[in-house]
Chains A and B, each alone.
Chain A
C-alpha cells in the first residue's frame, strides 16, 4: 500500500486551445479517449470550473473556444505520462486547423 502511495505524482500544466473550432464534441472525444488510457485522476480547469478529463460531458460543458486557457492536472502513478499525452493533443491542435 505504501509503495503505491509513494509513486503518486501531481502534475499541472497550462494549455491554450489553438484549433479554430475549439473543444467541440469530437475534440472532447479525443481528450477523453486519451485521458481514459491512464490510471491517474485527470482534471481540466478553466476559469473557475474544474471537471474530470475522463468525462466527455464534463469536458464539453467547460465550453472552450479558440484561445481558451485551460489547466490540466493529473494525480496518480502515471501523471506525467498522462499530461505529456494530452500535451501532444493540444500542441497538434487535435489534428485540426
Chain B
C-alpha cells in the first residue's frame, strides 16, 4: 500500500476557522511574454492600437477597483491614482510606443523593456523609498500585459470555483477584488496579525494563515489543502484521515462558535458572581463592528499607530481627530481607551531620519519616541483631547512608561496641550481618565508610585514578558524563553493587581494573553477584573469566564505559583483545562492535545510568531 505523504506548513493563524479545498496559486499564474518583430507598417500600426486599447482598459479597471476599495482604506485609493499616472507617463507610455514604431517590437516586449528601463533609473538612485516604488511600476506593467495577452485582468475574477487562495502577499487592490463567495480561506507567505489581509479575513470570518514564508513554493496549484486559521497550520496533500479529522473539526468549530456566540452579548459573570469586564483591542476603526458583534463592552486598547503605519504620508491633526471622534461616537457610551503612538524608531524611518539602533527593543520606541518628537506627540494629544469632548468616553493611555519621571514628562506635555486648548476655547473632556501601561519591570517595581499619578493601569503582557525575562522576542535563538507562564511574569501581574486594588484604581490586562482562552483561568485567579483582547476571542473568553468559579481559579493560581518553572505550570494548566474545558481545547488549541503534541522546538517557533 502506498502511503500518501502530506506536508505541513506553519504560519501565523490570524483568523480562526477551518477551510478544506483546492489551492489557487496566484503566483504561478504569471503571464508569459511573447516576443516577435513586427513585419510591416500595417502590423506596427495595429500593434500601437492594440497597446492603446490595453492601456485604456487598464485605466478603466483601476478606476473600477478604486471605487470598490474598502471605505476604511482610502489611502489605498490614492496609491491607485499613482498607478493611473504611471500608466500614462511618457517614460512608459511614449517609450513603449517608440519601441513599437522604431524598433518594431511587439507591444508586450516593448512594454517590458520600457518598464525595465524606468526601473533601472529608480534602482540607480541611492534612495530606499524610490527603489521600493519599482513594485508600483511592475504592478502597473503586469496589468497592461494581462490585457495585452487577452487575459482576464482580474486574477480573482478568473476563479470559477470555491478555492483557498495562496499568494505571496495580497495587495490592497487584490483584497478589494476578493470574491468572498468564492474564497474558502487565505494563505500568504508574508504578513502578520495586523496586516491588511489579516484584518479583512478576520472581519469576514475567512480562515487565514499568513507569514508562512514558503506557502507559494510548497503548495502546488490545484492541490487539496487544509487551512487551520486557529493554530496557523496548513496541510498540503492531506491524507484521507486528515481530511476526515478536519471535516469533523470544522463542524465542531462551527457548532461551538454558534453556541458560544449566542451568549457573547451578555455580561461575563463567573459562577460565583464576579463580574469581569471584557473589552476589545482594535487597530482600525473598521473593527468596531467586529468588536460590537462579538460582545465587547468597550475598546480596551486602540492601537493608534496602525493609522500611522498603513499610509505613505503623515496624518495631520484633522485626520486623527476625525478618526478618534468617529470611533468614540461609534462606541458611545462605552469606553474607548486610546493608547498613544507605540511605534519603534525603525517604523518611523519614512517620516524621520533613520536612527541606527543595535537593539531596537531597548531603544527609542513608544512613549520615548513621543517624548523625543514632542511635536508629533502634541498633535496626537490635541486630536485625542478634541475628540474626547463629543461623547466623554475616551480614556488616554501612555505605553511603555518606565517610571514616574517619564510619566511626569508626558503629563507635562499633556497639561500644556490642555492649556493651549483652553486658551483657544477648544472644548475637551476635562475629566478624561489617564492610564499607563505596565509592561516594563521597572514600572511594576514602582507601581505604587505610578498609581498616585494615574486613574488606571493596563498590563501589556507581550512586552512585560519580553522585558521581564530579558529576551528579544524577535530573536529566534532565545524565542523559546518567551514564556507567558514564567513564575516571574505571574508574580509581576499579581503584584500590579494588588497595588491597583490598594490604590483603588482599575487594573486591566490587554496583551495577547488576555485573548488566549488557555490563560483565562490563570488571569481570573490573578484577580483581574478587566480583560481586553482581539474581538474574535471575546465569545470564547466570556464563555470560559461564565463557566469558571473565581474562587477555584484563585486556589489554582495559588497552587501553581508555588511551581518553579513555566513548563510545570503549563503542564498543570493543560491537565486542568482538559478536565474542565475539553471542547475549547479541541476546537481552538488542538496543538496541545496529548495525541498531537508537536515537537518542542516547533512549538516555541509558532509561539514566537504568535506574539511577534
Contact = CB atoms under 8 A, between A and B. Distances in A.
A8 interface: no
Contacts of B82: 25-26, 28-29, 56
Contact of B312 (A26, A33, A52): A26
Given A29-B82, A60-B133, A63-B130, A97 B314 contact: yes
Contact of B91 (A20, A24, A28, A58): A58
A60 B313 contact: no
B316 to A, nearest CB: 5
Contacts of B89: 32, 55-58
A6 interface: no
B346 interface: no
Interface in B38-95: 78-79, 81-82, 85-86, 89-92
Interface residues of B, number: 27
Contact of B90 (A26, A27, A52): A52
Interface residues of A, number: 22
Contacts of A33: 85
A56 B91 CA distance: 9
B122 interface: yes
Which applies to chain B's interface (DSSP): helix, strand, loop or mixed? helix
Contacts of A58: 89-91
Given A55-B89, A56-B82, A56-B86, A61 B130 contact: yes
15 contacts: A20-B314, A21-B351, A24-B129, A24-B313, A25-B79, A25-B82, A28-B82, A29-B81, A29-B85, A58-B89, A60-B122, A60-B130, A61-B122, A63-B130, A97-B316
A56 B85 contact: yes
A2 interface: no
Contacts of B312: 21, 24-26
Contact of B314 (A21, A25, A63): A21
Interface string A71-93: 00000000000000000000000
B77 to A, nearest CB: 11
The residue in A19, A25, A28, A29 that gathers the most chain B C-beta atoms within 10 A of its C-beta is A25
Interface in B333-388: 350-351, 379
A61 B125 contact: yes
Given A24-B312, A29-B82, A55-B91, 7 more contacts: A20-B351, A21-B312, A24-B129, A57-B86, A60-B130, A96-B316, A97-B314
Contacts of B137: 57
Contacts of A57: 86, 89, 91-92, 118, 121-122, 137
B127 interface: yes
Nearest to B129: A24
Interface of B: 78-79, 81-82, 85-86, 89-92, 118, 121-122, 125, 127, 129-130, 133, 136-137, 312-314, 316, 350-351, 379
A58 B150 CA distance: 30
Given A25-B136, A63-B125, A55 B316 contact: no
A24 B131 CA distance: 12
A25 B133 CA distance: 8
A52 B122 CA distance: 16
Contacts of B90: 52, 54-55, 58
A96 B75 CA distance: 14
A17 B122 CA distance: 20
Nearest to A95: B316
Contacts of B129: 24
B350 to A, nearest CB: 7
B305 to A, nearest CB: 16
A63 B91 CA distance: 17
A96 B136 CA distance: 22
Contacts of B127: 63
Interface in A1-38: 19-21, 24-29, 32-33
A86 to B, nearest CB: 16
Q: Which of B122, B137, B312 has the most CB of A within 10 A?
A: B312
B238 to A, nearest CB: 43
Nearest to B92: A57
A26 B85 contact: no
A60 B312 CA distance: 14
Nearest to A63: B127
Ordered nearest first, which 6 A-B pairs have the shortest CB separation? Answer: A56-B85, A57-B91, A25-B82, A29-B82, A55-B90, A63-B127
Among B78, B130, B137, find the residue whose CB has the most chain A CB atoms closer than 10 A: B130
A61 B81 CA distance: 18
B314 A96 contact: yes
Nearest to A96: B313
A21 B313 contact: yes
A60 to B, nearest CB: 6
A43 to B, nearest CB: 13
Contacts of A54: 90
